[in-house]
Structure 1
Amino acid sequence: MARVKLVLPETFTFKTVLDVRVSEINYGNHVGNDRMVSLLHEARLRFLRSFGFGEFNIAGLGIMVTDLMVEFKSESFVGENLQFEVGVNDFNKYGCDFIYRVTCADEGRLVTLAKTGIVFFDYDERKIARIPKKFTDLVSSQKTLDSNNTSS
């Protein structure tokens, strides 16, 4: 079976830590795939907040996820602290990709690699919109941020 391969960015410019709660655990006694997607969503929101943005207010526009790829490398369990590193690449006129590397913060074990493709969306007009220059300028010039050391 052919596998999707994820190309990682040279650097991840944001990181945050989320603890695994019992509500993330499935019948296999590890983080469920649907719950990992929710954790990725939280990491993306924290990334956006580090710039003063929200998912529905990035220079007056919102975002919409257009595709998702998750590659599981190891299990994760209740009580583990997961470090989410986030980078942004593959910009086009309407959006970009958010790339994630998730590791167990206590062990350094790789848990997940993932990507969410997004487009900018004008929810008032109900149509795709051009990527805001303010977003690309801020994201492109960003130094590595740790959400635990910022006001987000």
Structure 2
Amino acid sequence: MARIRIEMPENYLFSTEIPLRISDINYGGHLGNDAVLSIIHEARVRFLKQYHYTEMDVEGASLIMSDTAIVYKAEGFYGDHIQVDVTVGDFNKYGCDIYYLLTNKKTAVEVAHAKTGVVFFDYDARKVRPIPDAFRSQMLKITS
């Protein structure tokens, strides 16, 4: 069976720390796969906030998820503090990818690699719209 591979960037624009809650732990006693999606959602909201954006307002456009990929690298346990490093890349006409590197803050062990594809969306018209030029320019300027 072919495995998902995510080519992780070398540099990140933002870093945040998220402690693992008991609700993040599954019946196997470790970080649940569903919780990883919740953690990267929180990290994305924090990342956007750093640039004075929200998922509903990025230069007048909203974000909508087009896809998600997660590769699990190691276990996480209740009480672990996970450092989530975030960056953007792979820009196209309507969106980009957001990358997340999840690392155990204490041990420096990588817990997961993740990527979400986002497209810009106009909720009033109910359709995708081109990526705002100001957002693309700002992100490209700071990732270069």
Q: Distance in 2 between matches of 1:98 and 1:67?
A: 11
Which amino acid letter does the alignment assign opposite residue 139 of structure 2? V
1:1-152 paired onto structure 2 within 5 Å: 1-142=1-142
Q: Distance in 2 between matches of 1:105 and 1:131?
A: 34
Q: Distance in 2 between matches of 1:52 and 1:42?
A: 15
- 1:150 counterpart residue number: none
SS at match of 1:141: helix
Q: Which stretches of structure 1, 4 residues or more, deviate above 6 A after TM superposition?
A: none
Q: Distance in 2 between matches of 1:105 and 1:10?
A: 18
CA contact (8 A) 1:89 1:96 kept: yes
SS at match of 2:142: coil
Which amino acid letter does the alignment assign opposite residue 119 of structure 1? V
Which amino acid letter does the alignment assign opposite residue 94 of structure 1? Y
Deviation at 1:10, TM superposition (A): 2.9
Give the aligned length: 143
CA contact (8 A) 1:51 1:138 kept: no
SS at match of 1:142: helix
Deviation at 1:136, TM superposition (A): 1.1
Deviation at 1:90, TM superposition (A): 0.4
- What is the root-mean-square deviation of aligned Cα atoms in Å? 1.0
Identity %: 43
SS at match of 2:39: helix
Deviation at 1:30, TM superposition (A): 0.9
Deviation at 1:142, TM superposition (A): 2.7
Q: Distance in 2 between matches of 1:120 and 1:47?
A: 16
